[in-house]
Amino acid sequence: MRQDIEFNAEGTTLRGWLFTPDAGHRPFPTIVMAHGFSAVKEMYLDSFAEVFANAGLAAL
């Protein structure tokens, strides 16, 4: 499942997607993904996050 999330870090609002497994119990082991410079989250990271979620991991 994908959720839009938003949180504050030292006065800056950060937004992202949180992918979680459809089955299992919280808290899930979580992978924090970063897109690097001059990229955005819409550039294929969701495909990797879905694979992680299907394997029982959360991905942010």
- What's the angle, vertex CA 52, arms to CA 57 and CA 2, rounded to 5? 85
- What pTM does this model have? 0.82
Contact assessment for residue 15 and residue 6, using Cβ atoms and an 8 Å cutoff: yes
pLDDT value of position 41: 65
Domain that holds residue 23: 2-59
Number of domains in the chain: 1
Q: Residue 59: pLDDT above 70?
A: yes
Cβ contacts of 23-29, under 8 Å, gap ≥ 24? 23/56, 24/56, 28/56, 28/57, 28/58, 29/56, 29/57, 29/58
Q: What is the pLDDT of residues 5-45, one digit of tens each?
A: 999 999 999 989 999 999 999 999 999 998 777 766 667 88
